Chain A
Amino acid sequence: MESAIFVQNLHKTFRNGSSLKAVDGVSFEVAPGEIFSLLGPNGAGKTTTISMLSALLKPDNGATGANDIRIMGRSLITEPLAAKAMIGVVPQDIALYQDLSALENLIFWAKMYGLKGTLLKTRVAEVLDLIGLTDRANDRISKYSGGMKRRVNIGVALLHQPKVIYMDEPTVGIDPQSRRSILDGVIALKNQGMTVLYTTHYMEEAQELSDRIAIMDHGKIIANDSHENLIRLVGQKTRISLSINTEPETMIEPWKACKGVSTIAIEESKINLLVDDSNKVLPRLFETAAAKDVRITSVEIQEPNLETVFLHLTGRALRDA
């Protein structure tokens, strides 16, 4: 079966003052009906990638081979209108007219997506219902809470019943309840057969929603697989995070030498380790510390997750990379 989204060798360099390679040779494919997540820290290049996939940014002409973007088999480069008609875009920043009501916004955008007459009316009513704002439809967007704005922002992208939807960090800066309802909504879209390209820097979201996850860092996709397979990358390794009562550097060398420790790194005065089996390794860490007269002041043990995968692949934590 043909891919819903096919991306090959995308590059983008921003040249304002210094030149910055925001996207560096990104390729991936998303099958129809899949939820595919781009997971990466701030500045990884997620939004830049999405912008190129929605024809807002022109990719650099790949010096290193042909680049291509196809949506449901239509090339965004040679048939932009046909390809764009397949896509609904939920931008990272709320893109609504603040001085118009939700209803007015939805009607305006529905017209811009080419809807007319009864279809327009039914779609606007359906979307209002879906985002749960039917009774607040006549309030101005500027009077809405952050979570409500986010829901309208998503609703607009669904009006023309696209085959493919891009959602760029749709849960940033909102309360847990709204977040929950958005995540449930994404799953409902998948169940209706929609293909979803989702970006986030919350690993829990990627883990819960995605059929496949691409981990992005510094403009490159460094891993791309299902959640289970990604976890398998780090083996059965567990992450241990420790604080000590003196300079963290003093314990780097001694602990690195311990049996069962595979990676060690310092993050914000904490020492992060990836170990094979925490039950066996932890006592050794305590012994080594005691021998050096260093006290361990806190211990945190984390079974493998995407965070550990990111740490394993980049040597940095996902949260504050």
Chain B
Amino acid sequence: MLSILNIALKDLTQIVRDWKSFLFLLIMPIAFTFLFGIAFSGNSAKEQDLRLPVGIINHDNQSPLSQELEKSVSASKVIKLKSGEEEALINQVTQKNLTAALIIPAGYGESLKSATPLQLSLWVDGVSNDGLSAQTEINVQASRLFSAVQTAKVLAPEGGPAFDHVLMNALQEWKNPPVALSQEDASLKNADLQPVSEVDNNFTHSSPGMILQFAIAGLMSCAQVVVSERKNHCLQRLMTTSASRVQILLGHYLSLVLMIFAQFILLIIFGSLVLKLTYFSQPLATLLITLSASLGIAALGLLIGVAAKSEEQAIGVSMIFMFLFAGLGGAWVPLEFTGKTFQAIGHFTPLAWAMDGFKNILSRGLGLESAWLPAAALLGYAIVFFSLANWKFKTQ
């Protein structure tokens, strides 16, 4: 046991001694987190602007009721209002630059209180889906206003200030729906939360992606230590001490795990303090994924160190694994954006599982129970890689 610790400590001294590459392993992932984060933020901003453009001409803009209609349509999640000249707006609809053009006729507000309300006119491209959506949304808003006016008419038939008061209350009711609706509303809110947090934080994907990619990059220095020990005959000398082969291997493994775990923790702290990511909302889940990812990646490093013929080869192979796993495992482009086949292939890499684990916490807000499966997969990789390294080490 003491031999294992002693070897691990010696390895860590060697790794940290090379402080330039150590620093590189902290600075590069931070830089790339920002780079990828900003690249993705451009994307989500565009998505946000997918509301349908609708032109509006309000010929009744003195009336509070017509103002109310314009307000509620423009607050809609489906429609983005644009004002302008009537003719120009209708032209834009025919050119498909606008989905629709809504014209509120003069006297529309007053007419709602009468028995024969005026009709709204809507220029719309009737065959397109977008046109239909805009039409439906405007209909919904208009009929809400109409019902509110009807309610007020029933409750305060004499008009005057009482009528206005009831009308305001009725309109308010549409915004604060009665208790019966609250459950539906809650689920709606939840569903909304996800895109909102995605928009708020562009680093939900890039932070774990880059942490994992550069954990593999870190194998370069760790694996080199193992290779050079063999090259400079220290391994032979170790074999003349009382340490067994398994102890030597475990010593190296321990140093790799500690090294990668420390890198993870530093970058996770950076992620939650500076990038405001929610790593610590589920501390146990984060710990479980971090630990199992460290064990899996460290075992890969051990295998590279034991199998590589030279330091150069250790570096080269680490780089290949880094690009391969990061690319396929979804550290660059989220696997959600790719097809089913690619996702399945991606999950042959340990990185995809670690990404799943982290994103369950960061963007899906899930807890410990969501971490078990990815953690089990990562431990499976740890066992496979370590066994291969042990086998290779024995036969040398």
Contacts and interface: CB of A to CB of B under 8 A. Distances in A.
Interface of A: 54-56, 81, 84-85, 87, 89, 91, 93-100, 104, 108-109, 111-114, 156
B391 to A, nearest CB: 18
Interface in B218-257: 228-229, 232-234, 236-243
Interface centre among A97, A98, A109, A113 (most CB of B within 10 A): A97
Interface stretch (B2-10, B88-96, B121-129, B205-213): B2-10
A108 B14 CA distance: 12
A113 B241 contact: yes
B47 interface: no
A100 B237 contact: no
Contact of A91 (B2, B3, B236, B243): B236
Given A104-B13, A108-B10, A95 B237 contact: yes
A221 to B, nearest CB: 23
Contacts of B236: 56, 91, 95
Contacts of B46: none
B18 interface: yes
Contacts of B2: 111
User: Which 4 A-B residue pairings sit nearest by Cβ, starting from the closest?
Assistant: A95-B233, A95-B237, A112-B241, A93-B233
B232 A98 contact: yes
B14 A97 contact: yes
Nearest to A81: B242
Contact of A112 (B6, B17, B232, B233): B6
A56 B236 CA distance: 7
A114 B239 contact: no
Contacts of B7: 112
Interface of B: 2-3, 6-7, 10, 13-14, 17-18, 228-229, 232-234, 236-243
A262 B241 CA distance: 50
A99 B14 contact: yes
A143 to B, nearest CB: 13
Given A108-B6, A108-B10, A114-B242, A89 B237 contact: yes
A193 to B, nearest CB: 21
Contacts, number: 62
A49 to B, nearest CB: 15
A95 B6 CA distance: 17
Contacts of B232: 93-98
B10 A97 contact: yes
Contact of A111 (B6, B17, B237): B6
Contacts of B242: 81, 84-85, 112-114
Contacts of A84: 240-242
B106 to A, nearest CB: 86
A282 B14 CA distance: 64
Nearest to B233: A95
Contacts of A87: 240
Nearest to A51: B236
21 contacts: A54-B240, A55-B240, A56-B236, A56-B240, A84-B240, A85-B242, A89-B240, A93-B232, A93-B233, A94-B233, A95-B233, A95-B234, A97-B14, A97-B234, A99-B14, A100-B14, A108-B10, A109-B237, A112-B238, A112-B241, A114-B242
Contacts of B18: 99
Contacts of A81: 242
B14 A112 contact: no
A105 to B, nearest CB: 9
A89 B241 CA distance: 10
Contacts of A109: 237, 241
A154 B297 CA distance: 38
A100 B13 CA distance: 8
Contacts of A114: 242
A55 B14 CA distance: 28
A96 B235 CA distance: 10
Contacts of A99: 14, 17-18
A112 B236 CA distance: 13
A95 B233 CA distance: 5
A97 B229 contact: yes
A231 to B, nearest CB: 35
A68 to B, nearest CB: 19
Contacts of B228: 98
A294 to B, nearest CB: 51
A95 to B, nearest CB: 4
B16 to A, nearest CB: 11
